[in-house]
Amino acid sequence: MMNADLRRERAAATFQPELLTHILDGGPDRTRRRKEIEALVINDPDFQHEDLNFLSRSQRYEQAIRKSSLMVMKLREYGIADPEEIYWFKRTCLGSFPEPFGLHFSMFQKTLETQTTDAQKEKWLPLVRGVKIIGTYAQTEMGHGTHLRGLETTATYDPATQEFILNSPTVTSIKWWPGGLGKTSNHAIVLAQLYTQGQCKGLHAFIVPIRQLGTHEPLPGITVGDIGPKFGYDEMDNGYLKMDNFRIPRENMLMKYAQVEPDGTYVKPLSDKLTYGTMVFIRSLIVGDSAHSLSRACTIAIRYSAVRHQSELKPGEPEPQILDYQTQQYKLFPLLATAYAFHFVGAYIKDTYRRISGDINEGDLSELPELHALTAGLKAFTSWTANAGIEECRMACGGHGYSRCSGIPDIYVTFTPSCTYEGENTVMMLQTARFLVKSYTQVSSGQRVTGMVSYLNDLSRQRIQPQHVAARTVMLNDPVSLVEAYKARAAWLVEAAAKNLEAELNHRRSKEDAWNKTSVDLVQASEAHCHYVIVKLFAAKLAEVSNAAVRAVLTELCLLYALCGISKNTGDFLQAGILTDAQITQVKQRVKELLAAIRPNAVALVDSFDFHDSHLGSVLGRYDGNVYENMFEWAKKSPLNKTEVHESFHKHLKPMQAKL
Amino acid sequence: MALLETRKYLQGSALGGVNPDLASERQTPSFSVEKLTALLDGGEENTRIRRAVVEAIESDPVFSRENQYFQSQNEKYEAAVRKAVHLQKKMHEMGWTENGPEFKYIYRALSGEIAFLLHTIFMRSISVLGSDKQIAKWIPLAMQYQLIGSYAQTELGHGTYLQGLETTAVFDITTQEFILNTPQISAMKWWPGDMGRSATHTVVFAQLYVQGKCHGVHPFIVQIRSLQDHSLCPGITAGDIGPKMSFEHIDNGYLMLQNVRVPRENMLSKFCEVQPDGTYVRRGSQQMNYLTMTAVRVALISHEAVTPLMKACTIAIRYSVVRRQSKLKPGEEEAKILDFQTQQEKLLPHLAAAYAFHFISNYLQDLFNRGYEEIQRENFSMLPELHAFSSGFKAIVTQYCASAVEVCLWACGGHGYSLLSGLPSLCTRILASCIYEGENTILFLQTARFLIKCFMAASAGHPVPPSVTYLAAVKPGKCPAKNKFDFLSPDIYTQAYRHAAVRLISSTAAKLQVLIQSGVKKHDAWNECTVQLVQAVKAHCLYITVKNFAETVERLETKGGIQKIMKHLCDLFALHGIFSNSGVFLYDGHISGAQMDMVTASYLDLLAVIRKDAVPLVDAFDFTDKTLNSALGSYDGQVYQRLYEWARKSPTNTQTNPAYEKYLKPLLHKKLSKL
């Protein structure tokens, strides 16, 4: 039976959640197909298991391996091959948790597909696709992560035997963190500094067998293991790998682009930008994941806030739903709006990537720098925001949010590493900044720039200070006008950072020093640019929505997202003269009105994300809202409750009481 | 395995002494580290005692935390119980007493990873709420551990809002007993520590009914487990509430009561009593009740928020001078990551905040002690201010420190996510402090009530408590700073904070009044303004923090460079706050746009200044390696070697891999159908 509060909330919604679900999925057909695939998992008893939170790390890893293996088999059985469909299948199966084979199918297979010669493809791809070998991608070392050039692993070519000799010459050069490396994989793609004919040729990728097929024992010369417990990712055997004079044949270097000939002659690749493609792709996935993870946390927190009653708003009346408190709305609704915003951004990047990557294969790389710059910043912006947002959702659930049964701790610990992996966020922001400064410099020297940075053209050409256009014209109820305000802020901050950088350079600092001295400004400029892009994409999305009721509620969310962003960054808008004190006061007032406007649709808006309970993995966020009874049921399964009297009583408590 | 060579150190002894990158940071501190440690401890004598306690605890293998990161929930719980039991013996051995100067350092030395903390709360609640007779009966039993106590207030359905609790205690005049019940699922007690597995007794908070009349929430001592075999008493259902984000060593529990009878004497009756004939008597002031809450909140600011932040800063800053990444100048070796401005901006303001909050915590403790003395003399006039202070600061400090600890974790890049860094445990633990002892938003709003009341009183010319007299003297005025150096004047930035606080409080109060005058009901008007009220309270607390920091610096001795470095930290804390909330200060033009650029310039200059002393500033916190239990943050900076050695001890490496035989092998050999 459905909780009465939730039933009431759903009845009061002003729009049909299914219609919004269709928009999020990309059409009713996609929704139908997604549900079909999810049902395959949900109705399959093979995928049922105990809550992983009750298991030890080793048991969790074992469960994960079992599931990974099952998924391989079942996907094949069902003939599911489309990447998005595989993704739906897997996420339903995995809930909040990673899979140890994750890197096999993403990085290992993908790298082999894109960076190998035809001969290599022929040899390796059948093994990989048939899971006759399991591989991972070993890039990060103990001493170096995002700064790739600093990696220390070496691969020295020996023309006498036509082999590469791989070494981890220092402690810091030990490969550290790759998923699936510790216990699962028997092969790895290893990134190493290539030495041939006495010269270092920079980083290259090599296929390295690490465990004996058949026994799974590490090969001689290989030291491999698990890096120990982490914040989350208990299911994943993130590993270390140390190589001592380990030899692999020449053919194990991935040679689509750069090559080493049998005599050791090095043949340079055409462009080193090519390898960016995979990075861009993975970062675009993180943007989507930011939306996805934040949506799940919002679903849990908002449903629970509709079920939980506490304290009193009006004397003598029953305790209200906590969702009726303004402070609770102020915590959750902006995050809900953010989740929608990020969803649309994720979809945009995916589409753009698909379009541009078509061009890459045909050799047109002109759009790659902008996409690379944009995804770097957006990856950082969305993952930082989602990370903090998930935490806020958890805290909005009070004490029960802290229990593992809420599901939010799992979402959090699984999501939070994305602030660091695939490019540390601050470094990502500075990559975007580099592109922005470059664009600004181009504009200053009279060239025009295109794409998302084209607003810089106006700034320089017309020499119009933002305050002159903006202060009069910003209309707080018009998303398009708010996009202009964000644009003016981005332009203002990019210009300020670029000028500060110039000033530092004029102080005769080295380029690197000047850059470092300006980096706090540069990060702010990048953030403002990303923020602008997000507001712009959200506002643009509204025009595509045909159903009036859905458009109305999305417009409210879009306005809330944009206005909250202003109210949390008032300093920029005031100092740049984009908004006046009086407008800031109006913004804050308008935000509160929007909270009240969104309130009746809050539950329907999270229902629209359409997460099945088994995927949500939360007692607090259950669709039926029967929270308390199920918390009790859940707790009874806790390992500490396996016996009524815990053995500690006999071992410690009783003797103590006897002695004292 | 062949001995690993490393890039430029680690030759020689096992871990090769102090990493030169860390040693060089310690060569020329601008101040005396030892003097600063003494200042933090409140005198050299305290430092000595603290070190002796830490040494005694850490040299005892029972208290070892070596395997902490590899233990299951059950193992952690058992270790916590073992330590708690052993501690009794240890205290006896060492001659430490609960009232001695050593006591407060024990918790720090154990990093709080010990069971029976609620036992102490159990005793405290009996001491505060019990009659003399009750105290005489129960306290000796508790002291002797003849019973183990807990404190059962929070329910599945209700937390901070106590009036909403649903557990009932009905007085049965015929048997002179109370009958306790948790009448529905949401009434079940949920979360109390030590209750899931350990406690034999607990103080249950329940709605008291006498002859059909409800008298509100009262405390009752209830036995829940047998003193003989530890089995549950009749009518009791209790157990562990399951895994949490942290505190796995604590058996937070649930408790259902079905017609559980306790004698009339088990209601704690210092302030309220049910007499044998059912007459309900109230006596004395209930305000003492608030005092316990206040005491707990003040104490937790230091133990559960500031100390963890200090630890996180120590780990992150030491690691940031050992970690080298990418080059700042072409041709040079890779730079220490702490030399990157963005890394300084992440860590150094939080280091300054750790000091700022340390000093505010001292200030609150003094205020509390003074208040306590007054209350002993039956003078309760300070209580509202104390309560408001403890609520607001509990909320702002825990919230700030929790997010700062997270920043420290991120600032360590990938390695921060390894449990071996020590940061994830600090992080998950401190997050709980935002909820327990009063959910932060609700606490902010409690302080808001006090501030609004005081503001109204001050505006009407009535006297107000000393901490809020500034509200009476509202004067608009512009910030007089002419250049970036002016912003290093405490008068100027303190004034800016004060201006912001007054503006936010007065404008919210005005808004409230407008709403009420326009016919909106008081409660609705309040709810309408709560978002602004929370912002106003934060502004108030930050103003007091900055003001207190500046005044503390003023009083410091100039010897040993202490005052100078503390002044830098105070400036940094204040300017970072303005820089990162610029809108609050730009609004109404107290600080102009041009002045804001000066703030930014001064702020960025300070980062570079404090950078030089960053390592000595964390060394001064004086945490031992065992206390930090971090592969990244040890004193010697042998980060990578330690990370590798610790990882190899993980059970995932020392035990066989069951998943291979069961799943991987069949998969690789295509015998999937057998899975």
β-sheet bridge partners, residue B520: none
State the catalytic residue, choosing from B374, B437, B554, B645. Answer: B437
pLDDT of residue B331: 83
Q: Least CB-CB distance to B5: which of A61, A169, A330?
A: A169
Assigned token pair, A62: 């074992």
- Chain A positions touching B585 (Cβ under 8 A) are 571
Torsion of CA A161, A164, A170, A171, to 10 degrees: -120
Q: Least CB-CB distance to A570: which of B436, B583, B662?
A: B583
Q: What angle do CA A241, A243, A245 make, to 5 degrees?
A: 175
Asked whether the beta carbons of residue A574 and residue B586 sit closer than 8 angstroms, the reply is yes
From residue A306, give the alpha-carbon distance in Å to each of A427, A519, A591, A626: 40, 43, 21, 11
- Residue-wise pLDDT for B573-601, tens only, equals 999 999 999 999 999 999 999 999 999 99
pLDDT of residue A363: 63
pLDDT of residue B1: 35
Selection from A429, A420, A537, A425 nearest residue A493 by Cα: A429
The label of the residue with tokens 């710059």 reads A373
Which residue does chain A place closest to B673, by CA atoms?
A73
- Residue-wise pLDDT for B213-267, tens only, equals 999 999 999 999 999 999 999 999 999 999 999 999 999 999 999 999 999 999 9
Q: Using an 8 Å Cβ cutoff, are A529 and A432 in contact?
A: yes
Which residue does chain A place closest to B507, by CA atoms?
A585
**Mean pLDDT computed over every residue of chain B:** 92
Give the span between the Cα atoms of A523 and A436, in whole angstroms.
11
pLDDT of residue B419: 96
Residue B485 has pLDDT above 80, yes or no: yes
pLDDT of residue A461: 47
Q: Using an 8 Å Cβ cutoff, are A516 and A555 in contact?
A: no
- Residue-wise pLDDT for B368-416, tens only, equals 999 888 887 888 888 889 999 999 999 999 999 999 999 999 999 999 9
Q: Least CB-CB distance to B244: which of A174, A216, A404?
A: A404
- Per-10-residue mean pLDDT of chain A, 660 residues long, equals 97 98 96 96 91 90 93 93 91 90 90 92 94 94 89 97 97 96 96 97 96 94 95 94 98 94 91 66 90 98 97 87 97 98 94 77 72 92 97 95 95 93 92 96 91 84 49 84 96 96 89 94 98 98 96 98 97 95 96 98 98 94 97 91 84 75
The pair phi, psi for residue A231, each rounded to 5°, is -60, -45
- Chain A positions touching B66 (Cβ under 8 A) are none
Residue B529 has pLDDT above 50, yes or no: yes
Beta carbons within 8 Å of B86's beta carbon, 6+ residues apart: B60, B62, B63
| Residue B332 CB coordination number (10 Å) | 9
3-class DSSP assignment, residue A221: coil
Nearest-10 crossing angle of helices B522-555, B383-411? 70
CA B306 vs. chain centroid, Å, equals 7
Distance from CA of B43 to the nearest CA of A (A): 36
Asked whether the beta carbons of residue A409 and residue B244 sit closer than 8 angstroms, the reply is yes
Asked whether the beta carbons of residue B414 and residue A421 sit closer than 8 angstroms, the reply is yes
Q: Least CB-CB distance to A516: which of B328, B532, B584?
A: B328
Which residue does chain B place closest to A409, by CA atoms?
B245
Distance from CA of A424 to the nearest CA of B (A): 7
Beta carbons within 8 Å of B377's beta carbon, 6+ residues apart: none
What burial class does residue B666 get, using C-beta atoms within 10 Å of its C-beta: 0-12 exposed, 13-18 middle, 19+ buried?
middle
DSSP structure class, residue B246? S
Asked whether the beta carbons of residue B243 and residue A330 sit closer than 8 angstroms, the reply is no
A409 touches chain B (CB under 8 A): yes
Distance from CA of B15 to the nearest CA of A (A): 12
Contacts for B53-61 with beta carbons within 8 Å, 24 or more apart? B53/B96, B53/B102, B53/B105, B53/B106, B53/B109, B54/B105, B54/B108, B54/B109, B54/B624, B54/B627, B56/B90, B56/B94, B56/B109, B57/B90, B57/B106, B57/B109, B57/B110, B58/B109, B58/B624, B58/B626, B58/B627, B60/B86, B60/B90
- Chain A positions touching B658 (Cβ under 8 A) are 58, 62
- Chain A positions touching B404 (Cβ under 8 A) are none
Length of chain B measured in residues: 675
Give the span between the Cα atoms of B440 and A627, in whole angstroms.
23
CA A559 vs. chain centroid, Å, equals 24
Q: Least CB-CB distance to B410: which of A132, A419, A651?
A: A419
Asked whether the beta carbons of residue A399 and residue B436 sit closer than 8 angstroms, the reply is yes
pTM for the model stands at: 0.93
Asked whether the beta carbons of residue A648 and residue B424 sit closer than 8 angstroms, the reply is no
| Residue A84 appears among annotated catalytic residues | no
pLDDT of residue A610: 97
Which residue does chain B place closest to A583, by CA atoms?
B587
Asked whether the beta carbons of residue A513 and residue B191 sit closer than 8 angstroms, the reply is no
Asked whether the beta carbons of residue A69 and residue B185 sit closer than 8 angstroms, the reply is no
A325 touches chain B (CB under 8 A): yes
Q: Least CB-CB distance to B531: which of A324, A330, A652?
A: A330
Distance from CA of A576 to the nearest CA of B (A): 8
Asked whether the beta carbons of residue A230 and residue B419 sit closer than 8 angstroms, the reply is yes
- Chain B positions touching A647 (Cβ under 8 A) are 78
A57 touches chain B (CB under 8 A): yes
Residue B197 has pLDDT above 80, yes or no: yes
Asked whether the beta carbons of residue A404 and residue B641 sit closer than 8 angstroms, the reply is no
State the catalytic residue, choosing from A99, A422, A484, A495. Answer: A422
pLDDT of residue B16: 67
Which residue does chain A place closest to B418, by CA atoms?
A230
DSSP structure class, residue B2? P
- Chain B positions touching A517 (Cβ under 8 A) are 341, 604
Asked whether the beta carbons of residue B242 and residue A425 sit closer than 8 angstroms, the reply is no
Distance from CA of B240 to the nearest CA of A (A): 6
In chain A, positions 498-537, which contact chain B (CB-CB < 8 Å)? 510, 512-513, 516-520, 523
- Residue-wise pLDDT for B24-59, tens only, equals 999 999 999 999 999 999 999 999 999 999 999 999
Higher pLDDT, B327 or B430: B430
| One-letter identity of residue A619 | V
- Chain B positions touching A62 (Cβ under 8 A) are 658-659, 662-663
Beta carbons within 8 Å of A409's beta carbon, 6+ residues apart: A394, A402, A403, B244, B245, B428
In chain A, positions 237-256, which contact chain B (CB-CB < 8 Å)? 237, 240, 244
In chain A, positions 433-492, which contact chain B (CB-CB < 8 Å)? none
Distance from CA of B558 to the nearest CA of A (A): 31
